[in-house]
């Protein structure tokens, strides 16, 4: 009894995660489905399990991100990383844990940190494009790097349990409850975009956001393009905090803001030569 309930919950959680993906396919189709439902007699059409997205959800055929490097300042970097941290309960190993709430917390190791979007310099963001005569301004410019939500994602290919999977709308996302923590995806990612929970992160989260799960120790995590916010019709946290430097949208739609930006500007992607087809572009 208990077991079957558990497996039901598991299934429903997964189908929920997928639902947002399926909804992407159904962009324009959603009203049509509703129309059919109305025509066939309202809410009684329950024989076909159709998962329709909330009307306010932001959808795309293939999500992409464009970062305007000229608009990235130290303040923007600060705001963006803080927004992401707060939205996703990402621990900050530099804070002192509350001794009362979390007694006997062992000190954290900086190199075991967790980050979804963070600052890098050009030579690290684009190591294969190192150039001794690179314009001075680029050398010191802060770059923001994150998961590229690759079209051909090596992490998805490597995962032995499908805990990391690709949604129909291009978002590479994780099922934290299925991950066994083998870290094969971390070895596979050519962008160092994944972090592992080497420990329980709770003592190092300043204020827990109840809208997003806190991860248990022993699982991998990374940027999810704020899928949970997109589903509610909100822009990703980084976009909101970026003062216009970061834009997300549908790469497959020529009218979308990201495509317009890519049409008008010269943009590059990280390690393009590997054929992973990153969905994050940098306007130079």
Partner 1 sequence: MLEIAIKGSKKYWIWLGALLAVMTAAFAVYIDQFMNGLMITGMSRDVSWGFYIANFTFLVGVAAGGVMVVIPYYLHNYEKFHRITILGEFLAVASLIMCLMFIVADLGQPTRMLNVLLYPTPNSMLFWDMCVLNGYLFLNIVIGWKVLEAERNQVKPPEWTKPLIYLSIPFAIGIHTVTAYLYCGLPGRGFWLTAILAPRFLASAFAAGPSFLILLCYIVRKFTKFDPGWEAMQTLSKIVCYALIANVFFFFCEVFVVFYSKIPGHMSHIKYLFFGLHGHDALVPWMWTSMTLMFVAIGLLLVPALRNNQTLLPFTCIMVFVGTWIDKSLGMISGGFVPSPLHHVTEYIPTVQEVVISLGVLATGLLILTVLFKLAATVKEEVRG
Residues that bind partner 1 (CB under 8 A): 106, 108-109, 111-115, 120, 123-125, 127-128, 130, 145, 154, 157-163, 178-184, 186-192, 195-200, 216-220, 271, 274-276
CB of 74 to partner 1, least distance (A): 19
CA 221 – CA 209 distance, rounded (Å): 17
Which CB sits closer to partner 1, 138 or 198?
198
CB of 223 to partner 1, least distance (A): 14
Which CB sits closer to partner 1, 189 or 205?
189
CA 208 – CA 89 distance, rounded (Å): 6
CB of 63 to partner 1, least distance (A): 22
Which CB sits closer to partner 1, 83 or 220?
220
Which CB sits closer to partner 1, 37 or 93?
93
Which CB sits closer to partner 1, 72 or 219?
219
CB of 167 to partner 1, least distance (A): 17
Which CB sits closer to partner 1, 40 or 272?
272
Which CB sits closer to partner 1, 57 or 159?
159
CB of 43 to partner 1, least distance (A): 34
CA 58 – CA 229 distance, rounded (Å): 9
C-alpha separations of 174 from 140, 215, 221, 227 in Å: 33, 11, 7, 11
CB of 184 to partner 1, least distance (A): 5
CB of 27 to partner 1, least distance (A): 28
Q: Are strands 63-68 and 280-283 parallel, antiparallel or unpaired?
A: parallel
Which CB sits closer to partner 1, 50 or 182?
182
CA 181 – CA 196 distance, rounded (Å): 8
CB of 154 to partner 1, least distance (A): 6
């Amino acid at each position: 009894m208990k077991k079957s309930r558990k497996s039901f919950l598991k299934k429903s959680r997964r189908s929920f995660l997928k639902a947002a993906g399926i909804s992407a396919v159904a962009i324009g189709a959603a009203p049509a489905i509703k129309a059919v439902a109305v025509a066939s007699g309202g809410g009684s059409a329950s024989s076909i399990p159709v998962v329709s997205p909330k009307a306010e959800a932001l959808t795309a055929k293939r999500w992409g991100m464009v970062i305007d490097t000229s608009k990235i300042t130290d303040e923007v970097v600060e705001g963006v990383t803080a927004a992401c941290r707060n939205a996703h309960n990402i621990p900050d190993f530099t804070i002192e844990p509350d001794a009362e709430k979390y007694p006997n917390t062992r000190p954290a190791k900086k190199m075991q940190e967790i980050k979804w979007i963070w600052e890098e310099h050009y030579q690290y963001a684009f190591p294969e494009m190192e150039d001794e005569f690179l314009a001075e301004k680029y050398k010191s410019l802060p770059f923001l790097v994150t998961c590229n939500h690759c079209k051909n994602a090596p992490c998805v290919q490597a995962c032995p349990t499908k805990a990391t999977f690709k949604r129909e709308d291009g978002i590479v996302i994780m099922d934290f409850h299925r991950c066994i923590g083998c870290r094969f995806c971390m070895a596979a990612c050519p962008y160092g975009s994944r972090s592992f929970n080497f420990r329980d992160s709770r003592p190092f989260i300043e204020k827990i956001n109840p809208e997003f799960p806190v991860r248990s120790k022993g699982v991998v995590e990374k940027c999810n393009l704020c899928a949970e916010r997109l589903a509610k019709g909100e822009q990703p946290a980084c976009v909101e905090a970026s003062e216009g430097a970061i834009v997300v949208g549908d790469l497959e739609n020529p009218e979308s803001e990201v495509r317009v930006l890519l049409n008008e500007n010269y943009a590059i992607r990280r390690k393009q030569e590997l054929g992973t087809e990153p969905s994050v572009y940098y306007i130079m």
